Amino acid sequence: ALDIPVVHGDAEGTAAALLAGTLNGLAVVGKNIAESRICVAGSGPGAMAYRRFAEKAGAAEVRGAETQEAMRDLVKGADVYVGVSYPGSLSREDVAGMNADPVVLALGMPNPELDPSDAEGVAVFATGRPDMPNQINSTLAFPGIWRGLLDVRATEASDDALMAAACAVANVVVEEGALSADYVVPSVFNKRLVPAVA
């Protein structure tokens, strides 16, 4: 009802950062989102917004689960696991049931859904932690989103604009020519990030 943009940092900001990690993570393993199955663990704002973005980005299938028991079934045969839930909810056995070269984006804090010691067999592993490679955080997206919305005097924040922001986050890494399993999203301190997203 407002005539100004409204963005939920922990929803759309997190979702945009996760979509960037998904796109680049899949690129590292030679997969395309249109052919990929994604399992999302969690039902909070970030999980719900990410599911919406992944579906709009053309994912072959997006599965969501609130409970650990359901998630164990849904993660079988998945190419991507996105955890926006709680630490320790993904096991080494769960990873073994995923498709080859899985991408795991585990944002549980203070510890991720998959313990790093159990990440053997994961092709691309990202967390929300700053002391590990591939830190996925809403800060990757929302400062640039706000700058861009303010610059064009936008009256709303459309999903198209927010998904374009996600692609811009991903492209910062691609344009640097540095895309790798340990570098699918830029650092939040990357000076090119906010202008690129804006």
pLDDT per residue over 90-137, tens digit each?
Answer: 999 999 999 999 999 999 988 999 999 999 999 999 999 999 999 999
Query: What is the value of pTM for the model shown?
Result: 0.95
φ/ψ of 125, rounded to 5, equals: -125, 125
pLDDT at 130: 93
pLDDT at 69: 73
| Alpha-carbon gap, residue 68 to 70, rounded angstroms | 6
- pLDDT of the chain along its 198 residues, tens only? 888 999 998 999 999 999 999 999 999 999 999 999 999 999 899 999 999 999 999 999 999 987 777 888 999 999 999 999 888 889 999 999 999 999 999 999 889 999 999 999 999 999 999 999 999 999 999 999 999 999 999 999 999 999 999 999 999 999 999 999 999 999 999 999 999 999
* Tokens matching residue 15: 């979702």
| Alpha-carbon gap, residue 80 to 55, rounded angstroms | 13
pLDDT at 68: 72
- Is the distance from CB of 119 to CB of 111 less than 8 angstroms? no
Helix spans in the chain (H)? 14-28, 45-56, 68-74, 92-96, 142-151, 159-176, 193-197
- Is the distance from CB of 148 to CB of 193 less than 8 angstroms? no
pLDDT at 1: 84
pLDDT at 76: 95
What type of residue sits at position 50? Y
